[in-house]
Chain A
Amino acid sequence: MLNSVDRLGREIEPAVLSVAQEIGPTAVRYAEKLLGDPALAITLFEEAAATVSLTHREKAARGKPDVKDMRGYLFLAYIRRVRKEKRAEPVLNDPKNLDLARRAQYMEMQDVERNLIMAEALATCDTVTQNIVLRRLEGFSWKEIELLCGVSGHAARQRFSATVQRLRSIFQRRGRVP
């Protein structure tokens, strides 16, 4: 599905490519829904993978620790690239000046933006946090989460709160009500 070089001629490292092949179908399916163009969705995914490869190489060259969660890191890079592409679409800056059809488009854009904000905030969760979030959303107590996820109730609570806070600050920074 993916090329090992992006459209700008940048190479995708084998370590990144293997993760990209794994999460590619899921990630591209998601972006395709937002962008409405499967080819563009794949192109942007390759670009994100090439950018992550570059970061990976730079970190190694500087002797910095490697990316811990490559799946989440790549997905996050992709979401940010998709958002940049969406924002570049010539739709809207001032909804007051738009006619009705464009207002509808503006509303749709707001939904897309919210969708991407949610995806971005959740993409930063590592596996342990994902497992905590899954359970907390279903009303599990911190004690129950502690028993199942192998982290203390206090640590679980902190991880969950950090996720909620990240989401809140992204919405606040962008001045959006969810």
Chain B
Amino acid sequence: MGTVGKKANRAGQEAFSEKTLVKFMKEHLSKDYPNPRREGCPPKLTLERLAKQPQQVDPSVAFHVFHCSPCYKECRRLLAHLKAKTRGSRTR
């Protein structure tokens, strides 16, 4: 394979790498489902429960979070908080 072919191959691999696809998943969930009037959004307490005890929450909530960018962003915030708290308590 020539230099050009190798470069194209590398570009293709990078375009479909897990890192790139994860980035696009995040962008898609954060931007592509605007819901300015917050129609059908669950209460914050339910989102907190989804972050902490996902098995205890109705499946419709996870579905909603996957299709509502404001709720997804709120959930990200809660998960980041939970992660920091869990890791903080583990290092202590």
With a CB–CB cut-off of 8 A, which chain B residues contact A22? 60
- Cβ B20 vs Cβ A178 within 8 A: yes
Within 8 A of A (CB), among B1-52: 12, 15-16, 18, 20-22, 24-26, 28-29, 32-35, 39-40, 50, 52
Q: Considering the chains assembled together, what is the distance between the CA atoms of A62 and B67 in angstroms?
A: 33
- Cβ A115 vs Cβ B39 within 8 A: no
Question: 12 more A-B contacts (CB under 8 A) besides A30-B33, A69-B59, A167-B21?
Answer: A23-B63, A26-B63, A26-B67, A29-B33, A114-B24, A130-B63, A134-B62, A149-B54, A150-B55, A167-B25, A177-B12, A178-B21
In the complex with contacts A26-B64, A150-B55, A137-B26 CB distance below 8 A: yes
Q: Which of B28, B79, B83 contacts A115 (CB 8 A)?
A: B28
Q: Considering the chains assembled together, what is the distance between the CA atoms of A69 and B60 in angstroms?
A: 11
Q: Considering the chains assembled together, what is the distance between the CA atoms of A114 and B23 in angstroms?
A: 13
- Cβ A138 vs Cβ B40 within 8 A: no
With a CB–CB cut-off of 8 A, which chain B residues contact A150? 55
Q: Considering the chains assembled together, what is the distance between the CA atoms of A129 and B1 in angstroms?
A: 39
Q: Give the A-B pair count, Cβ closer than 8 A.
A: 100
Q: Which 7 A-B pairs have the closest CB atoms?
A: A118-B28, A127-B59, A131-B54, A177-B15, A130-B62, A138-B79, A26-B67
Main secondary structure of the interface of B (DSSP, over half): helix
CB proximity of A132 to chain B, nearest CB, Å: 9
Q: Considering the chains assembled together, what is the distance between the CA atoms of A46 and B80 in angstroms?
A: 38
With a CB–CB cut-off of 8 A, which chain B residues contact A148? 52-54
With a CB–CB cut-off of 8 A, which chain B residues contact A168? 16, 21
CB proximity of A121 to chain B, nearest CB, Å: 8
Main secondary structure of the interface of A (DSSP, over half): helix
Within 8 A of B (CB), among A127-177: 127, 130-131, 133-140, 144, 148-150, 164, 167-168, 171-172, 177
Q: Which of B18, B26, B63, B79 contacts A72 (CB 8 A)?
A: B63
In the complex with contacts A138-B79, A139-B83, A167-B25, A71-B63 CB distance below 8 A: yes
With a CB–CB cut-off of 8 A, which chain B residues contact A134? 62, 65-66, 75, 79
With a CB–CB cut-off of 8 A, which chain A residues contact B53? 148
- Cβ A164 vs Cβ B22 within 8 A: yes
Contact of A27 with B by CB under 8 A: yes
- Cβ A118 vs Cβ B83 within 8 A: no
Pairs across A and B, CB under 8 Å, 24 listed: A22-B60, A23-B67, A26-B33, A26-B35, A26-B39, A27-B67, A29-B39, A71-B63, A72-B63, A115-B28, A122-B66, A127-B63, A133-B25, A134-B62, A134-B65, A134-B79, A136-B22, A137-B29, A138-B83, A140-B79, A148-B53, A149-B55, A178-B21, A178-B24
